[in-house]
Amino acid sequence: MTNAFVPMEWSSGHKNDAAMALFLGESRVMRIRLGGLLLALLLGCGVLQADEVIIVNSTVADTLPKRALRAIFGMRLGRWPESNHEITVFVLADENPLHAQFCKTTLNVFPHQLRRAWDRLVFSGTGQAPIRLSSEAEMLQRVANTPGAIGYLSKDKVDGRVHVLRIN
């Protein structure tokens, strides 16, 4: 989503180059194009931050280093760092757009990488798969009601029943 946004802006600016150059001259076009790109990047970053958030049960501390987050969604970390509480991981289906976006923008992995890692654990007996839920409504409810739970949600669907986790 975010990624598609930047190139789109960029290419639409690009198409009109010739026509704009006639009216404005080269340097002006350059400035507009750069400005447009900058705006697109800023907006892009905004969208990147705003679209989905990591949510945790209210029993969980609200900051975590990134490597721990990856280990949690890779199903290789069983307990929360300080409280030592058991972690329960909830996800949406692989083909759910929010899942794909969460993987790419928050975890910096592709859904197929995560799927492969879970399959390796599940079919060699060395781990378990995360619990797959069917909707964001269910995600909110299960994270809110399961101590030590973690999941993700569109920002506008979050309410006071869960905490938003910050990554440091």
The window from 8-16, 23-31, 51-59, 88-96 that contacts other proteins (CB under 8 A) reads 88-96
Is 90 in contact with 150 (CB distance < 8 Å)?
yes
Residue 12 CB neighbour total at 10 angstroms: 11
> CA 67 to CA 69: how far, in whole Å?
5
- Does residue 117 belong to the site contacting other proteins (CB under 8 A)? yes
* Residue from 78, 105, 154, 157 in contact with other proteins (CB under 8 A): 78
* Residue from 28, 31, 67, 161 in contact with other proteins (CB under 8 A): 67
> CA 44 to CA 25: how far, in whole Å?
28
> CA 117 to CA 168: how far, in whole Å?
24
Hey, what amino acid is at 39? L
Assign 54 to helix, strand or coil. strand
Pick 104 or 157: Cβ nearer other proteins: 104
- Does residue 166 belong to the site contacting other proteins (CB under 8 A)? no
* Residue from 29, 40, 89, 114 in contact with other proteins (CB under 8 A): 114
> What binding mask, one character per residue, do residues 7-46 give for other proteins by CB under 8 A, x or -?
----------------------------------------
- Does residue 156 belong to the site contacting other proteins (CB under 8 A)? no
- Does residue 168 belong to the site contacting other proteins (CB under 8 A)? no
Hey, what amino acid is at 32? I
* Residue from 86, 138, 156, 159 in contact with other proteins (CB under 8 A): 86
> CA 12 to CA 55: how far, in whole Å?
36
> CA 89 to CA 118: how far, in whole Å?
12
Is 60 in contact with 161 (CB distance < 8 Å)?
no
List of residues contacting other proteins (CB under 8 A): 65-68, 70-71, 74, 76-79, 81, 86-87, 93-95, 104, 107-110, 112-114, 116-117, 119-120, 122-129
